[in-house]
Amino acid sequence: DFETKKYSVIGTVFMDSECDLDCQNIILYGHNAFSSYDAGTDENGNKIDNKTLMFTPLDQFKDKENYKKNKTVNLILEDEIRTYEVAAVYYCKLIEEDGYLVPEEDMYYYLPYYGNDYFDTYKEAITREQFYSTGVDYSNKDKFLTLQTCVEADGNLRLIVLCKYISTEFYSG
């Protein structure tokens, strides 16, 4: 747990092993604490709301009104804060291939870099699958932060929040 620094049974957010912080597309994965998950109590004995855990709040981006209130995402690093704007929110259906669950060819959200031809294909697929249009313009020339979590109702779906890089603020700690 990032706040208490204590062990958490629901894990932690992690970056894709193919990425580094200089990639065009930084992919972060985190669990969704499903409604049936009992998060227990905090140090004061208050019940922990599982809707606040890990990447569970990403579900709120499915609603355009919540998007309008929360358009930016900050990636806080050791000496910088990178700000991103949510560009698209969509479900990605996974299919079984050679014993693994993978996206269909046009939905590879987990690539650290995108070639021009593939990016156009990917963007078309996003436009087809997104919950709503954010109005954010993005292209293969941009940098991205992709947030991925599982979906409670379907083990073969992933919720993807694609965020476009806006700026970096440096600080010394």
pLDDT for 91-117, tens place per residue? Answer: 999 999 999 999 999 999 999 999 988
State residue 113's pLDDT score: 98
State residue 172's pLDDT score: 82
Residue 50 pLDDT greater than 90, yes or no: no
Residue 35 pLDDT greater than 90, yes or no: no
Residue 147 pLDDT greater than 80, yes or no: yes
pLDDT band, very low/low/confident/very high, at 59 (cuts 50, 70, 90):
confident
| Mean pLDDT, residues 30-34 | 67
Residue 39 pLDDT greater than 80, yes or no: no
State residue 4's pLDDT score: 74
Residue 157 pLDDT greater than 70, yes or no: yes
Number of Cβ within a 10 Å radius of residue 132: 14
What 3-state DSSP class applies to 152?
coil
Q: Where would I find the beta strands (DSSP E) of 47-153?
A: 72-76, 80-97, 100-103, 144-151
Contacts of 61 (CB under 8 A, 6+ apart): 67, 70, 86, 89, 131, 159, 161
State residue 56's pLDDT score: 60
For 124, the token pair is 């078309």
Residue 168 pLDDT greater than 60, yes or no: yes
State residue 16's pLDDT score: 95
State residue 152's pLDDT score: 75
